[in-house]
Amino acid sequence: MTRPTRARAALTAAVLCAVAALAGCTADTPPHAAPAAKATTAAPSAHAPADTSCQPRRSLRPSGGLPQPGHMPAGSYMAQIQKKGRLVLGTSQDTLLFSSRNPFTGAVEGFDVDMGHQIAEAIFGDPDKLTIKVIPNEKRVDDAADGTVDLVAYTMTINCARWKRVNFSTVYYDAGQKVLVSTSSAAKGIGDLGGKRVCAPNGSTSLDNIAKAPSKPVAVGRASFGDCLVAFQQNEVDAISTDDTILAGLAAQDPYAHVVGDKFTQEPYGLAMSQQHPEFTRFVNAVLERNRANGTWKRTYDRWLGRFGPAPQPPAAEYRD
């Protein structure tokens, strides 16, 4: 075994231990119990034409100014959240920089988690009145739609198909899909991966996009980004493809991997919530609008993503009413 191979094997073992530890840890609320996932290829439906029946970036316009924290309008969903004393946020625990478990403190933290803290602060006046519920990638829409969680912040792309089941906030982050490969690979992008096994989480638009790529890579689904990284390090897949920001977090965990190519999709992230409470969507959008204007969005970017360069302008809000 060569030195790089030995190092890679040791790194894989470390990642496997970390994934096992995460599975055994409890979040503020534990993740859904699930057996270890095997690789699956993307379903044929992934090749269906994209749903273009809406303008997905457009959300519900805020109605008036924000109420004072602790004084939510009677009868509103915000008042229900205030009464129970916590905002329940559905998110990941292995998406480095956006929502991952800090190995030293055990807390789930990142850009997405801060979005939840900011909504909690607007409701309660206390950003820590937040319960984090770790949910599987493929349950994001279900758990938002049926009220299992109040809000989902999970690097989730807004699209028309999902709008039919949940409400989305305005865009809080603009990402784009790229490819992570071994540093020894000659691939320069998705176009060089024809016939190669490319991993993304089950239930993600990333998996659909791999299956639709003209170069015809083989889309391989796993339960999470962490599982894709382990599969990559065990040579079960040749590459990982998802949003550029997520790939940067994965590459930071593997010195033998790097991100290549240009963005080949646009991935606008939104906060998802039940369609039963449109007033909550308008409230969330009011918080996001305020935070774009007062510098909170920029400070959040600088905290988690500043290593990639100066903060861009926050995504502009677009409304449908």
Mean pLDDT of 96-100: 93
- Asked if 283 contacts 78 with a C-beta cutoff of 8 angstroms, the reply is yes
What's the confidence (pLDDT) of residue 309?
87
Between the alpha carbon of residue 184 and those of residues 5, 104, 188, 199, the distances in Å are 12, 32, 11, 18
Evaluate if residue 305 carries a pLDDT over 70.
Answer: yes
Q: Are the folds of 3-28+40-50+177-260 and 58-174+267-319 the same? A: yes
| Domain extent listing, the chain | 3-28+40-50+177-260, 58-174+267-319
Residue 91, pLDDT above cutoff 50: yes
For the cut 80, the answer to whether the pLDDT of residue 106 exceeds it is yes
- On the question of pLDDT at 45 being above 70, the answer is no
pTM across the whole model: 0.81
pLDDT band at 307 (very low <50, low <70, confident <90, very high): confident
Closest C-alpha to 131, from 29, 33, 32, 30: 29
Residue 305 DSSP code:
H
Q: Which residues contact 216 (CB under 8 A, 6 or more apart)?
A: 194, 195
Task: Say what the pLDDT of residue 94 is.
Answer: 87
pLDDT of 23 higher than 60: no
Cα gap 22→136, rounded to integer Å: 13
pLDDT value at 111 more than 80: yes
Q: Quick: pLDDT tens for 169-226.
A: 999 999 999 999 999 999 999 999 999 999 999 989 999 999 999 999 999 999 988 9
pLDDT above 60 (res 52): yes
**What CATH superfamily classification does 3-28+40-50+177-260 receive?**
Periplasmic binding protein-like II (3.40.190.10)
Q: How confident is the model at residue 50 (pLDDT cuts 50, 70, 90)?
A: confident
17 to each of 110, 225, 304, how far by Cα in Å? 22, 15, 25
What superfamily would CATH give domain 58-174+267-319?
Periplasmic binding protein-like II (3.40.190.10)
pLDDT of residue 10: 45
Q: Tell me which residue has tokens 């449109």.
A: 278
Q: How confident is the model at residue 40 (pLDDT cuts 50, 70, 90)?
A: low
How far is the C-alpha of 191 from the C-alpha of 185, rounded, in Å?
13
pLDDT band (50, 70, 90) for residue 26:
very low
Confidence of residue 28 (pLDDT cuts 50, 70, 90): low
Give the percent of the chain with pLDDT over 90.
Answer: 78
